[in-house]
Structure 1
Amino acid sequence: MLNKNKELSCTEIGERLNFSGSALSHHLKQLQDSGVLEFARKEGTYHYYHLNWDTLKRYIVVNSEI
């Protein structure tokens, strides 16, 4: 869904994952707090996000070692 060079709006993420507004907001907040997801920009009322690949890679390495 999100690759190295792509940003998606909250609306696009919610539609692709079939999440309601409150569930999406909750999960986006958790991903931001963990450093995996970063706020990229705001365009009008749309908020765009992208993955923080450095943080994501660390999570993958740590989990693969468990």
Structure 2
Amino acid sequence: MIDSIVSSHPFSTLSPDSDLAILLLDLADVTIMSASNLECLIASSPSNEIRAYLHGVRDMRLSIAACLGTPA
């Protein structure tokens, strides 16, 4: 259900590089955002510390998916 709500939200069409998207990153929950958005966020991270944290979040999500037997 949440996927249909998020995909229909106007912010879902923002380019990850836009100024508005950058301002909204503080409101995004990296534990539930799509894997592709998380990868974009990792790739565009301004510092190594943030990138390392986001890699940790991604690895945690992959571990949980593997334990539950669900696709990541």
Per the TM superposition, whether the score is higher than 0.5 is: no
Looking at both structures, which has the greater relative contact order when contacts are Cα pairs under 8 Å and sequence separation is at least 6?
Answer: 1
Q: TM-score range by the shorter chain?
A: 0.3 to 0.5
Bigger share in strand:
1
Q: Report the TM-score, using the length of structure 1 for normalisation.
A: 0.32
Bigger share in helix:
2
